[in-house]
């Protein structure tokens, strides 16, 4: 086991996070806001580039802007580590960024302690989807899970409406070579991403490390219920075609279905739009989203299908109509047993509290795992708060994670 000065590592990690929370790296002091191809994002990549070069790594970027750093020449096998350093639109300091900072610390420890592991750090472009409304965009491009038409036309900036392609070219990249991004994964013998948990499991169970053995898949969909708009005071209850009644019934049924399915299945109605949206009007139409997730495809997909069917039947029963449309579906991702086992052994050797768990949130590792044996490590975040300026994690936990990752890779090597 490689012995690590955790206090020193925690101090370095804390300083990196503090620096990257400064005014040069976010568009506003109200939250962390940095998206692909903005000056703040460019400065963030430049910061990591300088730190990695100082550590002896060669730094490049793929054709659309995912950062790649290696301590071995191209063509030689390496082990991959990293995450993403973009934020959501109301972000905190830690989501994604702490994973890249911790990977940087692994690189520093590897050099300083003479471990000599062949490493490749990757910071994926646009994981949060804040720039173009597309989650996991850099890793999906890398795995060719998009089309050229998506990049040229369909994926457009949420701020100015220009295409991803236009923005990439304006930032000095070569999106016409986007299919070459996949070669970043050539020669990788494994991949580990560290991330804050984004939930309360670790905190509430008193664990400092979570070894992730699966990432939940999900169904994102919309239900639109069409009723009849009426006056809220003049229309008797028995004469209404109120689409929000179907909404209310479906929310409760989704809760029941997800609870009954078990196995980590969860269901959420997070978006609700009522037309015309007036306090004194019965809605003519209601749209609501379905977000159904879980680590077992059959379970969460069955819940989504049953919830959709329930909504359509409830609308018909009440004399209304409804439609259901999926936005995106991703299968659950089982992670590599050998790498998970190495992380579990390394976590046990630290003498600190840890557990094995699945991730309910999506991560770039879902894409990487298609081609490279992969796993993840979680650290707690206070009260499970994420995607919010109040997000908080302890650099000491990240330092422990760096030790676990370093020792797991050493054992695998």
Q: Is the pLDDT of residue 400 over 90?
A: yes
Average pLDDT over residues 331-345: 97
User: Is 55 part of any domain?
Assistant: yes
Confidence class for position 25, pLDDT limits 50, 70, 90: very high
Q: Which residues of 168-199 are buried (b: 16+ CB within 10 A; e: fewer)?
A: beebebebeebeebeebbebbbbbbbbbbbbb
Same-domain check for residues 194 and 222 = no
User: Looking at residue 328, what is its pLDDT?
Assistant: 85
| This model's pTM is above 0.85 | yes
Rounded to the nearest 5°, which phi and psi values hold at 295?
Answer: -80, -5
**Strand 321-330 versus strand 354-359 pairing type:** unpaired
Domain harbouring 129, CATH code: 3.40.630.10
Domain tally for the chain?
2
Whether the CB-CB separation of 20 and 101 falls below 8 Å is answered with yes
Same-domain check for residues 189 and 309 = no
Single out the residue in 330, 353, 383 at which a domain terminates: 330
User: Looking at residue 330, what is its pLDDT?
Assistant: 86
For 131, how many CA atoms within 13 A lie in the half-sphere containing its CB? 26
Give per-residue pLDDT as tens, 149-183.
Answer: 999 999 999 999 999 999 999 999 999 999 999 99
User: Is 353 part of any domain?
Assistant: yes
Whether the CB-CB separation of 290 and 229 falls below 8 Å is answered with no
User: Is 259 part of any domain?
Assistant: yes
**Strand 285-294 versus strand 217-226 pairing type:** antiparallel
Measured CA to CA in angstroms, residue 352 lies from 20, 113, 344, 345, 379 at distances of 28, 22, 11, 12, 12
Same-domain check for residues 182 and 315 = no
Give per-residue pLDDT as tens, 30-46.
Answer: 999 999 999 999 999 99
User: Is 79 part of any domain?
Assistant: yes
User: Looking at residue 32, what is its pLDDT?
Assistant: 95
User: Looking at residue 229, what is its pLDDT?
Assistant: 98
Cis peptide before 152 (omega within 30 of 0): no
Same-domain check for residues 306 and 377 = no
Cα 170 off chain centre by: 26
Higher pLDDT, 329 or 335: 335
User: Looking at residue 20, what is its pLDDT?
Assistant: 97
Q: CA angle at residue 384 from 378 to 388, to 5 degrees?
A: 105
User: Is 132 part of any domain?
Assistant: yes
What interhelical angle do 395-412 and 97-112 show, nearest 10? 60
Single out the residue in 330, 365, 383 at which a domain terminates: 330
Q: Is the pLDDT of residue 48 over 90?
A: yes
Confidence class for position 365, pLDDT limits 50, 70, 90: very high
Give per-residue pLDDT as tens, 216-257.
Answer: 999 999 999 999 999 999 999 999 999 999 999 999 999 999
For residue 388, give both structure tokens.
Answer: 């919010």
Cβ contacts of residue 119 below 8 Å, gap of 6+? 57, 70, 71, 72, 78, 79, 80, 81, 106, 107, 110, 409
User: Looking at residue 258, what is its pLDDT?
Assistant: 98
Domain harbouring 321, CATH code: 3.30.70.360
Q: Taking all residues of the chain, what is their mean pLDDT, rounded to a whole number?
A: 97
Give per-residue pLDDT as tens, 126-154.
Answer: 999 999 999 999 999 999 999 999 999 99
Whether the CB-CB separation of 328 and 220 falls below 8 Å is answered with yes
Same-domain check for residues 258 and 382 = no
Residue 234: which domain range? 217-330
Give per-residue pLDDT as tens, 100-119.
Answer: 999 999 999 999 999 999 99
**Which position has the token pair 């890249």?**
100
DSSP string, 230-262: EETTTS-GGG---HHHHHHHHHHHHHHHHHHH-
Same-domain check for residues 115 and 162 = yes
């Amino acid at each position: 086991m490689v012995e690590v000065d955790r206090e020193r590592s925690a101090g370095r990690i804390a300083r990196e996070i503090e620096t990257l929370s400064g005014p040069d790296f976010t568009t506003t002091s109200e939250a962390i806001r940095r998206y692909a191809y903005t000056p703040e994002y460019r400065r963030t990549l430049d910061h990591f580039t300088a730190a990695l070069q100082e550590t002896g790594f060669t730094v490049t970027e793929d054709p659309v802007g995912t950062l790649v750093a290696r301590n071995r020449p191209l063509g030689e096998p390496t082990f991959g580590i990293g995450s993403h350093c973009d934020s959501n639109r109301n972000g905190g300091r830690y989501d994604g960024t702490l994973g890249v900072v911790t990977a940087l610390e692994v690189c520093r420890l590897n050099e300083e302690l003479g471990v000599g592991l062949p490493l490749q750090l990757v910071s994926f472009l646009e994981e949060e989807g804040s720039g173009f409304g597309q989650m996991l965009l850099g890793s999906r491009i890398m795995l060719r899970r998009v089309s050229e038409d998506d990049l040229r036309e369909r994926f457009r900036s949420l701020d100015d409406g220009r295409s991803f392609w236009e923005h990439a070219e304006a930032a000095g990249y070569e999106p016409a070579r986007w299919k070459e991004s996949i070669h970043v994964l050539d020669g990788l013998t494994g991949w580990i991403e560290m991330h804050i948990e984004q939930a309360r499991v670790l905190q509430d169970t008193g664990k400092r490390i979570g070894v992730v053995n699966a990432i939940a898949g999900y169904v994102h969909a919309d239900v639109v219920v069409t009723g009849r708009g009426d006056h809220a005071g003049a229309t008797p209850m028995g004469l209404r075609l109120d689409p929000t009644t179907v909404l209310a019934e479906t929310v409760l049924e989704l809760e029941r279905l997800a609870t009954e399915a078990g196995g980590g299945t969860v269901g959420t109605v997070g978006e609700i739009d009522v037309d015309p949206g007036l306090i004194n009007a019965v809605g003519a139409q209601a749209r609501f989203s379905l977000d159904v997730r879980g680590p077992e495809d059959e379970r969460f997909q069955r819940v989504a299908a049953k919830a959709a069917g329930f909504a359509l039947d409830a609308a018909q029963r009440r004399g209304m109509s409804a439609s259901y449309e999926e936005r995106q579906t991703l299968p659950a991702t089982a992670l590599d047993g050998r790498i998970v086992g190495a992380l579990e052994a390394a976590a046990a050797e630290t003498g600190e509290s840890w557990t094995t768990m699945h991730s309910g949130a999506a991560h770039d590792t879902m894409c990487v795992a298609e081609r490279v044996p992969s796993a993840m490590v979680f650290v707690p975040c206070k009260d499970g708060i994420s995607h919010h300026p109040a997000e908080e994690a302890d650099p000491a936990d990240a330092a422990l994670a760096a030790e676990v990752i370093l020792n797991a890779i050493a054992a695998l090597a």
